[in-house]
Structure 1
Amino acid sequence: MKKIALPKDVSYILQTLNQHGFEAYIVGGCVRDSLLGIAPKDWDITTSAKPEETKKLFTHTFDTGIQHGTITVVRNHENYEITTYRIEGEYEDCRRPDYVEFTSDLKEDLLRRDFTMNAIAYHPEEGFQDPFSGQMDIQNKTIRGVGEPAKRFQEDALRMLRCIRFGVQLGFVVEPETKVALSENVALIQKISVERIKDELEKTWISTHMESLPLLWESGLLEQVDGYLCQKVLENPNLLEQLQKAPKHPHFRWALVLQNYDQKALKSICKGLKFDNDGTKVISTMALLSQQDLPTKPYEMRQLLSKYGDIVDKIITLQEILRPESTFSTSRTVYETILADGDCLTLKQLEVDGQALMDMGIPKGKQIGQMLNHLLDLVHQNPEWNTKEQLEQIVTAVGEDIILP
């Protein structure tokens, strides 16, 4: 029998529940990942104990979703979610069950889960509880809905995006019945919040097996998420190859997906998907400048770095993917030289500041900003001028009454 190496704290939790007469197993993603040779990020536990019974057995717990049977046990600063076996009622909103009913039957609990590969429980002494042949599906690299796939998608419509995301993450193939159920229920995705949709899309973009990605639009699901996004994706026949080459970082992958948007439309979709302001700025800048020629001269590169900071490094990397015939190689050499030399790029790095200018007699107000920007431009042209003495000489020479451009 294949064994899963459990952390000591997980073994302790299982043993504690067992010693008090309760069943307990690790379940879900941690079992799947262990079978795939992937280190689990979380260790979830399912048990026949009711939440209040579980809480009495451990000294440090807190309620995570106790109305749905879940509490969290804290051991050595790590959190472990423990959920009571449960049966779920109807899903009127394609998101949450109308009610949850606790059960003593592990199989009934596993039946409510999304895919067979996530419906496997494991105990170090009993081995695997696998009523839906999830181990075989993992071995065959197959994604299969538990029981009736259509019902699983109707219970929680986000499972359709999860289905595609697992395929792209793991290189698995969606089996025919599950694929049909997905295509027939795509309209239900509109009942899911944009935050959850954005999170699943992002996990999909940063995955590895892009050969599995076309199901996202071939199923009609992406059209239901955002018709214009689907149109733009279909207009780019090289997207899969580009994504495959890009670093596994959301900014890179989103910039590639949205590369054919104009700036107004790009910012609109970012707002619609609830990106934060910083994410929107980075992605829109990357998408815009990746299509433009980058500086190959130090002065212009310093100006670009002054305006965009470390986004420039990302833009150069994108150019390597999108425009291999461009001057990205020269731009990167210039960029790296500037950083290695520690050149002044921003007002904060100038060896004089506003207070120093006021001490020299320049009146507080607009002229301070004008003078500082003038000095920064000169230093961009001549990095060696960034000394207090040199800059003060320039200020004196310019004179406080001259209106700078």
Structure 2
Amino acid sequence: MTVTKKNTKTKSSYTVNQVLRVVHHLCPPALAFDWDNVGLLIGNPDAPVQRMLVALEADDRTIALAAKKKCELLLTHHPLVFRPLKSLRSDDPVARRLIALHDNGIALIASHTNFDCSQCSMNHYIASSLKINNLIPLEARLPFRDTASEQSFYKFVVYVPGDYSDVILDAIHRGGGGTMGAYSHVSFAAKGTGTFQPEAGARPFIGKKGTLEKVCEDRVESLVAAENLAAVVDEVKRVHPYEAVAWDIYKLAISPANEFVLTGATGTGLGLVGNLPAATTLAELGASVARLCDATYPPMISGNTAKRVRKIAVMGGSGGSMLGHVLARHPDVFVTGEFGYHETLAAADRGIAVIALGHANSERLFSTAMCQALMSADANLGGKNAAVQIISDTGCADPFMPLR
């Protein structure tokens, strides 16, 4: 193993790709539904980011705001592009917005159903704010499936002088590796002896040319999801003191029973069910949730508003597809954005009340919840002296308004 010193200059700011890795660490893209379109939708992944705007939609108002605030990145809940475009014409609303993003040098990341199924979702934010406990998903989701057509996990092994093990572990984390359950920086290290003899042309970090060296090194190994493997390798190479970095990569066979643990997905899924600390009336709960979501109009309520409720199911956005899961969990009330007429009748037949906040009202907390999660996950995002300033936009325009 030949080892030589190299330049380890670091960038002065975060890149789009580094922010994307944090987003995907919080909201693994494999949690997204097949019909969804999440991740980086437009922009250069290597472009630097000093300001980013977090908003519900990538509409004209939001893009103009991002440009006015000189943001290099826009992170939204709803994807601007759901289906492939055959042309980029300015008379098409989606294409026009893509052109505006490009012209203003703004990259766009979407975190949609992967966010909804994550542990930092709006549902978790609402449940935490209302102190709902004993939470379980309405619909549990396995983020990675062990099939022949899908990649799963790799064990990444790298050899490094013992004093650099912590540096390498941080690099693995930045690349998106080393996560198990609710834990980050997960690894195993074993000491050993590395041998090498620098020859002509070598610039050894340790040792002298023409002399056989024996160096005490750590064998650091960590689990890495397939989609993060390239990023982990890049991050490790960037900070490793050796010019010629030695690593091994092993593809793992992960059983479905282990998938939840390895991806940190315990408790993830679409929607939540739990219990309030104490029962309250349906009317009081509706008012509380509307205030929490800063709703622009009162919620629609199905059921006796004086009814005492404690077991709550929550799912922002469109809840109609969740009827079967709601009926199976049989909560006292289902809090959602929108719920169909027939679905509401089916719930009422089984004694389940419904609070429909409106789609936009129920998802207005996306920016608040996502910003909180980003800042908690990475000190370089959103803090006073952080590399990236985060601007939260909660002023989404609701297409529906009550007649006054």
Taking structure 1 as the reference length, what is the TM-score of the superposition?
0.23
Higher strand share: 2
Taking structure 2 as the reference length, what is the TM-score of the superposition?
0.23
Higher helix share: 1
Which has the higher relative contact order, 1 or 2, with Cα contacts under 8 A spaced 6 or more apart?
2
